[in-house]
Structures are given as C-alpha cells and as structure tokens.
C-alpha cells in the first residue's frame, strides 16, 4: 500500500508540473520535470545498453570461438573511439566512429525511404487494373492518386523561363502542376498536423483523468 501511495503521488506531481507550462509558461517546476524525464531516459538507455551490449553480446562473443572473438575487434575499436568524443582534446579520434555511424544511418534511412515510401507510392499510382476493377470510384481515386503524386513531384521542379514557345509552354505546364502539387502537399501536412493535435489532446485528456483518478486513489488509500 505504501508503494502504491508513493507511485500515485509521484505520478500526480509530475503531471501537475508538466501541465504548469500551460498556465505559467516556462517555469522552474516545468524544467524540473523535464530534467527528471531526460535523466530517467538516459539512465534507462544506459542500463539497457549495458545489459544488451556487454552482457548479452560482447561477453558471450569473447567467451566463444576464435571467429567470434575476431568478429568483435572492429566493433570494440569503434566503440572505444566513440568514447573519446566526450573529451574535447581527443574528440577527433572519435570522428571515424561518428562517420561510420552517420554513413550507416544515412544508408538505412535512404533504403527505408526508397523501399517503404517511394516504391509503394509508385506502385499504388500505376495499377490501372486495380482502378478498373473497382469501377468508376476506383478509377477516379486512382487518377487522383497518380495525378497528386506527379504534381507533388513537380512541385520540387525549378525551371527557368525560356524564349522559345515550346519551352515556355513546358515551363508554364510544370508551374501549374507544381502549384497543384503544393495544394496536395499542404493537404497532407494539414492532415498530419491534425492527427498530431488530436493525439496531443487525447494525451492531455488522459493525464487530466489520471490526476482525478490519482486523487481518488489517494483518498481511498488514506481511508477517505
């Protein structure tokens, strides 16, 4: 009962400290809650990293065969060099590890964007058989998807006006399509913002309910 009482009280207090930003703006109590959040996140990350990296990866590999030991040499060297980034005098020693980390991250992000976003969008934009199988609504929806995709891509095309008639016509066409594409982009950004705002309001309502339920639990635990 004591642990439950402490947990409910701490949760209510931190929630009130965070919500104080809505009334008083940036204040010391709000910053205290943020510092506790950052500190707890860093501590949890260090604990998880220590457990998964050293206890479950490095130590079993060092206790294994020769191939497993040699396989850990390069990761250990890169990890040790990364530790030098915390010291300004020897920070340049960690540039190799940082460059490797950024390169791998950029490759993963590029592959994810290509395979997870661009290719599915192109595939969904070009399936005429799927459009026709759903009748007129499917055809209209498919044309909107294809046209919106093309116009959104042309919104990032920057061309200079030329004197020749055909080139001027092409530039005008690209300009009109780019403006239509910006409308599609703004609609997508607006929908994303609305979704984020709805999620934030849901979280706010949930925390208010948590405060009310916390007060009720405290009164119940205290015998009220």
pLDDT digits 0-9 by tens, 128-154 = 666 667 677 777 877 887 888 888 888
Closest CA to 103 of 92, 113, 114, 111: 111
Judge whether 81 lies within some domain: no
What is the per-residue pLDDT for 36?
A: 92
169 assigned to some structural domain: yes
Residue 53 pLDDT class (50, 70, 90 cuts) = confident
Decide if 85 is inside a domain.
Answer: no
Tell me the pTM: 0.55
Domain hosting residue 195, numbered range:
128-224
Q: What is the DSSP letter of 26?
A: S
Number of domains forming the structure of the chain: 1
Give me the mean pLDDT over the 208-224 stretch: 77
* CA distances, 65 to each of 68, 70, 79, 155 (Å): 5, 9, 21, 56
Of 162 and 28, the structure prediction assigns the larger pLDDT to 28
Q: Is residue 1 part of a domain?
A: no
Residue 158, domain member (yes or no): yes
Token output for 93: 């020693």
For 70-103, write each residue's pLDDT tens digit.
Answer: 777 888 888 888 888 888 888 888 888 889 989 9
Is 208 inside a domain boundary? yes
Which of 116-125, 147-156, 188-197 has the lowest average pLDDT?
A: 116-125
Assigned domain for 18 exists: no
Question: How wide is the angle at C-alpha 86 spanned by C-alphas 80 and 91, nearest 5°?
Answer: 80
Tokens 């920057």 belong to residue: 158
126 vs 109: which has the higher pLDDT: 109
Does residue 78 lie within any of the structural domains? no
The yes-or-no verdict on residue 161 having pLDDT over 70 is no
């Amino acid at each position: 009962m004591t642990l439950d009482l402490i947990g409910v009280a701490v949760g209510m207090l931190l929630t009130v400290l965070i919500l104080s930003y809505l009334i008083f703006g940036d204040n010391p109590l709000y910053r205290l809650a943020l510092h506790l959040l950052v500190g707890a996140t860093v501590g949890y990350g260090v604990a998880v990293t220590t457990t998964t990296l050293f206890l479950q990866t490095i130590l079993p590999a060092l206790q294994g065969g020769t191939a497993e030991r040699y396989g850990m040499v390069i990761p250990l060297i890169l990890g040790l060099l990364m530790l030098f980034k915390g010291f300004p005098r020897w920070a340049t020693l960690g540039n190799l590890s940082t460059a490797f980390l950024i390169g791998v991250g950029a490759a993963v992000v590029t592959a994810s964007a290509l395979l997870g976003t661009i290719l599915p969008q192109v595939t969904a934009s070009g399936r005429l058989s799927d459009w026709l199988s759903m009748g007129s609504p499917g055809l209209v929806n498919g044309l909107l998807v294809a046209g919106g995709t093309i116009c959104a891509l042309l919104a990032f095309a920057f061309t200079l006006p030329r004197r020749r008639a055909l080139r001027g016509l092409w530039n005008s066409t690209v300009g009109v399509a780019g403006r239509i594409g910006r409308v599609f982009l703004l609609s997508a950004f607006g929908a994303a913002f609305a979704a984020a705002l709805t999620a934030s309001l849901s979280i706010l309502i949930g925390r208010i309910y948590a405060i009310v339920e916390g007060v009720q639990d405290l009164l119940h635990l205290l015998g009220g």
